[in-house]
A and B are shown apart, each in its own frame.
Chain A
């Protein structure tokens, strides 16, 4: 970002690094000092009491123990965030290397540094990881999961997640056992069960790593949801297999009954996790129905219910990740209908913030733990692990795709398969699971291998996936925003396909989806959504949301830049059918009057802008995931002028005026013509008439509704005779009313208007 540019760019990265190392060393030094002088803090006090000698009152005392824990935690988080900041200031590096790699490198450096000064480096504690670092990331992903894509590809995702992970585990485990049998490797101590255990730990695709890498390459939604969905849903398989093998390794023997129980366990774990999540989600939705008077705590309900869902699932050894996802998915449609817009923004931002911090911390700790942990390096084992992981992934994807394609309408191409296989990254979950193994020499070897695989996937695959995506010309994410036309047609298509299925007598996909929707509408929504919104159809909510977004963008981009100028608008008058054939006014008069109107509007606009800036700045936040400032500014101007133009220059008498606001959907390209001193809109903006009954609308300019007034006598510049249409009169009425509303005398309006009218 341009606004964030610091004076020195190239030197700041290393400077920050040094600064952080300094901070860390300070922390450690303090730690040393404390442990050295622990007793002495208390002693002087006692001594002074017992001996009677008067010591001067300690103006400045030192008590580090008191705040040690939060201090160190904050220091680490600060380190993580400063690093993140640093990377984005050095643009060249961040284009080539994904953030996760850089963070691991930083972790390595910090770990090395800590070890160098003789301290004991902290290790990524499994409890810390699973209870505190992982849930925000999963919740963020689950809450904003693209539901449509997810459910449409659910079958594929499930096959990859379940069957794929099973295949990976057993293949890797089996092959590694075979490798261990090789005499020269001296790995005879490793038995089959341990190998299988190892296999199941290393086989799961990691959601954190996938998110970290895929977010930067912006591929097609289908591929993203396939890999990401797989990484989420394979948690159940991983959990079951892990505990299964753990039990077996304690028990020593495996029977068929045990295997059968394992299968049952899988269903219990996954379905149970989903159920727990769904229950909490419904509770959360229900609670949000009553929060209309205490808006401030609304976001907390979302976070807490989700976290409780995760913890409750973990209590029973169910799949916490699936529970969290289910909770978020279940809760979201109802909660969003109930909460205020500010709460929605808060939720979005907090989730992004927490997940960002978590992710950063995880990668840094991975780096630190690598340096810290006891390692047992065995060339054969490690190399073979890496190779076999890759091979197994590729084989798994190809084999499964072959089967899946028989059932899919949109088949997966070779390119898709390659990306899915290549995107199977391993991450911190594998490391933490490995860390939970019981201590033994074998464990250290396993951990080393796991770390190597993680590093390999994150560094090699993570770094090369972007150029490969470009090389293979894989389809990228659609850049355009969702427009109202697409929404209309999506719904239309849904109904159409359901209808056709009904005609064919074929109860397929769409039929059941339609049934679910109807059930949702009739029963569930009534319980979970407060007030009128429960009966609001989806198209209308979509439309309202869109308008709200545009309204906010309009307000937010309020800092004045030079208004660009364009030619005429496409407004309602272009689209609205006319009742009677228009009488063309003499073009010269029309144009000049337009000029006047535009001048006046510009003046008013500037006043309005000032007003807006003072009123709304503290309420709303700019969405950093939207476009950058300059584009927002331009759009705002477009929007504003378009709105005004269409508001004034249009339309037959029966139009209803309601508090005006918004635009819908912009295209990024625009054409700017130097026509006038005043900005009108650009080709692609368009007007929309607001809905009369939308409680969440932001009414920016509280203009009073203006009635079209047909009488010509009330015109201010009454001394001119014109052949005018009703619309021209209305224009003037409106612009006068507007100026009155804004308490702006409208500089020389009448004088200018009068003089130009005469021409």
Chain B
């Protein structure tokens, strides 16, 4: 929360580590990245994200950026959006992409699943009303197909409609002709993606990141790539022998 010192020591990290489940090394690395993105300011704003070149050709860029500024993703049961975020919020959003540890019980895995699906749900539900309406879903599909030009528009509608009908069929069973299906609630969303195994899919390998070499504002050339790759592929010692006990160490 608030301003972090330029060289945070362990006590700061302990707090964050407990909250998000990252290890100290991972937090340090992400902090470096945060500072690079924000040009050493204390907070990140949307335009900082928009300057990232790798995101430029991503069709759902706006939604990804929006997710960082969405208070619902901060695990504090907030709502609405903010204009700037600090490192803690950045970290909390990133923690949605941690893989579940092998030692988790079935319940914990279920909890992780819900959390990740909640993140996705928030990304779709842009007006914060707790349901994904047909319009919002159409928007999602349109964004996905946004790179295909005019061909995408009509088809996007059909696809979104088909998908919506499927959700309705799965969740509601049958409905009278004059009933109206309001939208996908979170419970329906859970049911829909039941077999999707999102806890195995929605993960980033945070382990071997070394942003000092990896981050480039232009594409890497051969030397950097090879040195970064070697650093990347050697199993790092980060995952062994924790200095301080963190509850969810990978």
Do A and B make up one complex?
yes
Nearest-CB distance from B186 to chain A (Å)? Answer: 15
Is residue B214 within 8 Å, beta carbon to beta carbon, of the partner chain? Answer: yes
| Contacting pair A502 B55 (CB below 8 A) | yes
Nearest-CB distance from B126 to chain A (Å)? Answer: 14
**Besides A488-B159, A505-B209, 9 other CB < 8 A contacts?**
A409-B99, A483-B166, A489-B120, A492-B60, A497-B97, A571-B177, A574-B180, A574-B181, A683-B169
Chain A neighbourhood of B235, CB < 8 A: 406-407
Chain A neighbourhood of B54, CB < 8 A: 498-499, 501-503, 511
Is residue B161 within 8 Å, beta carbon to beta carbon, of the partner chain? Answer: yes
Over the window 129-168 of chain B, the binary record of Cβ atoms lying under 8 Å from chain A Cβ atoms (1 yes, 0 no) is 0000111000011001101110110110111011111111
7 contacts between A and B (CB under 8 A): A484-B163, A493-B120, A504-B204, A540-B151, A575-B165, A576-B161, A690-B158
| Contacting pair A537 B148 (CB below 8 A) | yes
| Contacting pair B134 A499 (CB below 8 A) | no
A491 to B135, CA, bound (A): 19
Q: Kindly specify which of B13-21, B191-199, B241-249 makes contact with the partner chain.
A: B191-199
| Contacting pair B134 A577 (CB below 8 A) | yes
Chain A neighbourhood of B141, CB < 8 A: 488, 539
Identity of the chain A residue whose Cβ is nearest the Cβ of B101 in the assembled complex: A411
Which one of B123, B148, B163, B209 lies within 8 Å of A485 (CB-CB)? B163
Chain B neighbourhood of A486, CB < 8 A: 193, 195-196
Identity of the chain A residue whose Cβ is nearest the Cβ of B180 in the assembled complex: A574
Is residue A125 within 8 Å, beta carbon to beta carbon, of the partner chain? Answer: no
Is residue A649 within 8 Å, beta carbon to beta carbon, of the partner chain? Answer: yes
The tally of residues in B whose CB lies under 8 Å from a CB in A reads 78
Chain B CB within 10 Å, residue with most, of A405, A506, A684, A686: A506
Chain B neighbourhood of A535, CB < 8 A: 148-149, 151
A578 to B177, CA, bound (A): 13
Chain A neighbourhood of B140, CB < 8 A: 488, 492
Identity of the chain B residue whose Cβ is nearest the Cβ of A507 in the assembled complex: B214
Chain B neighbourhood of A685, CB < 8 A: 169
A572 to B134, CA, bound (A): 11
A484 to B163, CA, bound (A): 6
Chain A neighbourhood of B147, CB < 8 A: 537
Is residue B58 within 8 Å, beta carbon to beta carbon, of the partner chain? Answer: yes
Is residue A567 within 8 Å, beta carbon to beta carbon, of the partner chain? Answer: yes
| Contacting pair A543 B159 (CB below 8 A) | yes
Chain B CB within 10 Å, residue with most, of A507, A575, A688: A575
Which one of A484, A493, A511, A574 lies within 8 Å of B201 (CB-CB)? A493
Contact (A572, B161) CB under 8 Å given A497-B202, A577-B134, A692-B154: yes
Is residue A480 within 8 Å, beta carbon to beta carbon, of the partner chain? Answer: yes
| Contacting pair A495 B55 (CB below 8 A) | no
A689 to B155, CA, bound (A): 9
Is residue A230 within 8 Å, beta carbon to beta carbon, of the partner chain? Answer: no
A692 to B157, CA, bound (A): 11
**6 smallest A-B Cβ distances: which pairs?**
A502-B54, A505-B215, A688-B162, A686-B165, A499-B64, A683-B174
A407 to B177, CA, bound (A): 52
A578 to B178, CA, bound (A): 11
Contact (A505, B33) CB under 8 Å given A409-B200, A492-B60, A570-B168: yes
Contact (A491, B144) CB under 8 Å given A485-B163, A570-B165, A689-B161: yes
Is residue B230 within 8 Å, beta carbon to beta carbon, of the partner chain? Answer: no
Question: Which residues of A (485-523) have their CB < 8 Å from a CB of B?
Answer: 485-486, 488-489, 491-493, 495-509, 511, 518
Over the window 680-718 of chain A, the binary record of Cβ atoms lying under 8 Å from chain B Cβ atoms (1 yes, 0 no) is 001111111111110000000000000000000000000
Nearest-CB distance from B95 to chain A (Å)? Answer: 12
Contact (A574, B211) CB under 8 Å given A407-B235, A499-B61: no
Give the interface SS of chain B, mostly helix, strand, loop or mixed.
Answer: helix
Over the window 1-30 of chain B, the binary record of Cβ atoms lying under 8 Å from chain A Cβ atoms (1 yes, 0 no) is 000000000000000000000000000001
Which one of A410, A491, A504, A570 lies within 8 Å of B209 (CB-CB)? A504
Identity of the chain A residue whose Cβ is nearest the Cβ of B145 in the assembled complex: A537
A540 to B148, CA, bound (A): 10
| Contacting pair B174 A689 (CB below 8 A) | no
Is residue A54 within 8 Å, beta carbon to beta carbon, of the partner chain? Answer: no
Contact (A568, B215) CB under 8 Å given A492-B120, A492-B140: no
| Contacting pair A503 B209 (CB below 8 A) | no
Q: Kindly specify which of A161-169, A289-297, A300-308, A664-672 makes contact with the partner chain.
A: A664-672
Chain A neighbourhood of B59, CB < 8 A: 495
Chain B neighbourhood of A543, CB < 8 A: 155, 158-159, 162
Contact (A489, B203) CB under 8 Å given A506-B211, A535-B148, A540-B155: no
| Contacting pair B134 A576 (CB below 8 A) | yes
Nearest-CB distance from A582 to chain B (Å)? Answer: 7
| Contacting pair B155 A683 (CB below 8 A) | no
Question: Which residues of A (273-300) have their CB < 8 Å from a CB of B?
Answer: none
A518 to B56, CA, bound (A): 13
A570 to B170, CA, bound (A): 10
Chain B CB within 10 Å, residue with most, of A484, A511, A671: A484
Nearest-CB distance from B242 to chain A (Å)? Answer: 16
| Contacting pair B215 A664 (CB below 8 A) | no
Nearest-CB distance from B215 to chain A (Å)? Answer: 4
Which one of A407, A495, A687 lies within 8 Å of B58 (CB-CB)? A495
| Contacting pair A504 B168 (CB below 8 A) | no
Chain A neighbourhood of B58, CB < 8 A: 495, 498-499, 502
| Contacting pair A485 B167 (CB below 8 A) | yes
Is residue B94 within 8 Å, beta carbon to beta carbon, of the partner chain? Answer: yes
Contact (A488, B64) CB under 8 Å given A582-B178, A691-B155: no
Is residue B47 within 8 Å, beta carbon to beta carbon, of the partner chain? Answer: no
Chain A CB within 10 Å, residue with most, of B133, B204, B220: B204
A451 to B183, CA, bound (A): 62
A571 to B203, CA, bound (A): 36
Identity of the chain B residue whose Cβ is nearest the Cβ of A497 in the assembled complex: B204
Chain B neighbourhood of A55, CB < 8 A: none
A485 to B181, CA, bound (A): 17
Identity of the chain B residue whose Cβ is nearest the Cβ of A662 in the assembled complex: B162
| Contacting pair B215 A508 (CB below 8 A) | no
Chain B neighbourhood of A683, CB < 8 A: 169, 173-174
Question: Which residues of A (537-571) have their CB < 8 Å from a CB of B?
Answer: 537, 539-540, 543, 566-571
Question: Which residues of B (43-71) have their CB < 8 Å from a CB of A?
Answer: 49, 52, 54-55, 57-61, 64
